[in-house]
Amino acid sequence: MLNPGYTTVSKFLIQNVPEGPHGRELAALLVDVAAVIKAISAAVGKGPLAGLSGLAGSENAQGEAQKKLDVVADELFVRGIEWSGLVGALASEEMNDVHFVDGSGRLALVFDPLDGSSNIDVNVAVGSIFSVLALPDRTTNPAAVLQPGTRQLAAGYAIYGPSTQLMVSVGTGTHGFTLDREIGNFVLTHPDIRIPEATSEYSINASNRRFWEPPVTRYVDECKAGREGPRGRDFNTRWVASLVADVHRVLMRGGIYLYPRDQKEANRQGRLRLMYEANPMAMLIEQAEGVASTGRGRILAVEPQTLHQRVPVIMGSREEVERVERYHAEYDRGEDKPYSSPLFGERSLFAKG
Ligand code: MN
Ligand code: MN
């Protein structure tokens, strides 16, 4: 039954996209993005029955092996968006460079068509992430899309989990919609999401510990020390290893997500991509009253130099992210006092013996 109170994503966008030079175009573009996401959701939801499992046999611009579904999702975005005349430029994780669209479109859509695609073959939640920017003028200069995240007009992601959900911000809070598969509409189910300021859940790939910087090691060791440590309470680890799934949990119930800079590959600034992973997620987190940091500043303030640039990501509940920022600042000033648990000390002595 169609509930008369039911707010579809189209209705929501028409009512909530701020007026301005791009208002109407932005609402129309986001409706098209929602349609693309329904198509990707259908393909992902068929699993191996769609015949889209496994590798495509090709590589993306960064030399990473593409899954068949990476390529299909990228094509669905391009075909679902470029026809409308709203967009002058498209760029994605799967493209070598910015793809310019003939016409008068003044918006740019930057996206990760399928995030967490290594999880596809084990049937774990994956997603799509997108960011909308305004093009300064009719241009075919790829540098035109290299804008800091503060300039995003809108951002969002879809999560293809037990249900398909779409989280969107147009700068007026972060709002969540759930796909009603029978009716084919995204329905507003999570208006005005607020991330709790405090949390006892942290998410980090602990196998990289030996590559972390000292402030990150200090933070995680203190969490692990639990009630006996300086934090005086127990923490839980949560790690899906799918950016969308991990950030979604943080958005829904709080937590801190870290993919910090590490020394695993020297000269690499973190692992996640600024333009189509970190920036859209940072906008959604900030619009939900969370904090999104590199450890040394706001993610949204980073000036991009290249389309596929990487960035350290620390985001989620305010108290924890601000604490990690403080540890970075103390470390950079030479004031860092790494916590060493007497218990861990004993264990490592024991192990060496
Ligand atoms: Mn990704
Ligand atoms: Mn991807």
pTM above 0.85, yes or no: yes
Domain ranges of the chain: 9-190, 201-332
Residue 32 CA to ligand 1 center (angstroms) comes to 21
Residue 215 CA to ligand 1 center (angstroms) comes to 25
Residue 109 CA to ligand 2 center (angstroms) comes to 15
Mean pLDDT of the region 219-224:
98
Beta partners for 298?
293
Residue 115 CA to ligand 1 center (angstroms) comes to 4
Residues near ion ligand 1 (CB < 5 Å) are 112, 115
- CA separation for the pair 258, 313 (Å, rounded): 6
Residue 69 CA to ligand 2 center (angstroms) comes to 9
Closest-approaching ligand to the CA atom of 242 = 1
pLDDT of residue 299: 98
Residue 299 CA to ligand 2 center (angstroms) comes to 20
Helix 68-81 × helix 23-45 angle, to 10°: 150
Other C-beta atoms closer than 10 Å to the C-beta of 128 total 29
Residue 158 CA to ligand 2 center (angstroms) comes to 12
The one-letter amino acid at 237: T
Same fold, 9-190 and 201-332: no
Tokens 């640039």 -> residue:
309
Other C-beta atoms closer than 10 Å to the C-beta of 55 total 13
Mean pLDDT of the region 206-234:
96
pLDDT of residue 15: 92
Q: How confident is the model at residue 62 (pLDDT cuts 50, 70, 90)?
A: confident
Question: Cβ distance 166 to 158 under 8 Å?
Answer: yes
Which token pair is 133? 């920017």
Q: How confident is the model at residue 20 (pLDDT cuts 50, 70, 90)?
A: confident
pLDDT of residue 63: 84
Residue 247 CA to ligand 1 center (angstroms) comes to 12
- Provide CB contacts within 8 A for 180, sequence distance 6+: 186, 187
Q: pLDDT digits over 275-320, tens only?
A: 999 999 999 999 999 999 999 999 999 999 999 999 999 999 999 9
> For the domain 201-332, what is the CATH code?
3.40.190.80
**Percent of the chain predicted with pLDDT > 70:** 94
pLDDT at 228 over 90: yes
Residue 121 CA to ligand 2 center (angstroms) comes to 14
pLDDT of residue 263: 84
pLDDT of residue 347: 42
Q: pLDDT digits over 86-135, tens only?
A: 999 999 999 999 999 988 899 999 999 999 988 888 999 999 999 999 99
Q: Which CATH class is domain 9-190?
A: alpha beta
Residue 112 CA to ligand 1 center (angstroms) comes to 6
pLDDT at 203 over 60: yes
